Structure 1
Amino acid sequence: MKTDAKQRATLTRMETAHAETARHLAVIERQVEARAERMTTSSRVKARQFGRASATWSRADERDVQANVAALRFARRGEIDALSQKLARQAGAIAAHCVRCRINEPAGEGVS
């Protein structure tokens, strides 16, 4: 019974580390997108008409944002790739641990 508790504790630690890595990757993605938007806004200096019927974001702006996102992702590709690979390794380790220890249900559920 004690080993079952240890196995579940190990699984919980592994899942927590996986979630933290996923959060870190999501933070990087948000940073890239926010930076790309700021870069587009500051680079496209033009007279914008503000009013009810006027759009403040054009198709050209959207193309620039996408280009900036691609450039920023390329610049941070090492970090993004490392975290993506780490996520894959962690997911594999979690799956292997569950198979090895015969754990089928998530850690939050108890055995009835």
Structure 2
Amino acid sequence: MRSYFEQRAMLARMEAARAETERRIAIIERQIAARAERMTTSSRVKARQFGHASTTGTRADERDVQANIAALRFERRGEIEALDRKLARQAGAIAAFRVRYRVSVPEREAAP
């Protein structure tokens, strides 16, 4: 049987690892979005009207960005899926730990 402080420390480590995995997924998503934007602007070399009433983004640009995002996600799907599986395992381990040691969920996590 672990002491209360050991349980809390272990739970904190588990939650920190889960947060790090979530950060990695967010970083990958931001990288994909940024690269898709760059790919779109570099592939759509066209004369744009610059001035007071002009716009720099068109519907076609947005479609291209979304297509590039889908393609880049497909390329990195192995990494994303592995992190998603790891995140699910970590969430399950934290839930099991809470049940086993009867540790309640903090109020900030319990609220939807």
The TM-score, its normalising length taken from structure 1, stands at 0.91
For the residues of structure 2 that align with 1:50 and 1:88, how far apart are their CA atoms? 48
For the residues of structure 1 that align with 2:81 and 2:69, how far apart are their CA atoms? 16
State the aligned residue count: 106
**Partner in structure 1 of residue 87 of structure 2:** 87
1:1-12 counterparts in 2 under 5 A? 3-12=3-12
1:33-112 counterparts in 2 under 5 A? 33-106=33-106
For the residues of structure 2 that align with 1:97 and 1:37, how far apart are their CA atoms? 42
> Please, which runs of 5 or more residues in structure 2 have no aligned partner?
107-112
Q: Deviations over 1:45-90 (max 9, x none)?
A: 0001111211110000000000000000000000000001111110
Per the alignment, in what secondary structure is the counterpart of residue 57 of structure 1? coil
Per the alignment, in what secondary structure is the counterpart of residue 84 of structure 1? helix
Per the alignment, in what secondary structure is the counterpart of residue 104 of structure 1? coil
The TM-score, its normalising length taken from structure 2, stands at 0.91
> Please, which runs of 5 or more residues in structure 1 have no aligned partner?
107-112
RMSD: 1.3
Return structure 1 stretches of 4+ with deviation > 3 angstroms: none
For the residues of structure 2 that align with 1:86 and 1:5, how far apart are their CA atoms? 26
For the residues of structure 2 that align with 1:105 and 1:62, how far apart are their CA atoms? 41
User: CA offset at residue 105 of structure 1?
Assistant: 3.8
Per the alignment, in what secondary structure is the counterpart of residue 48 of structure 2? coil
For the residues of structure 2 that align with 1:93 and 1:52, how far apart are their CA atoms? 56
Q: Deviations over 1:23-59 (max 9, x none)?
A: 0110000000000000000000000111121111000
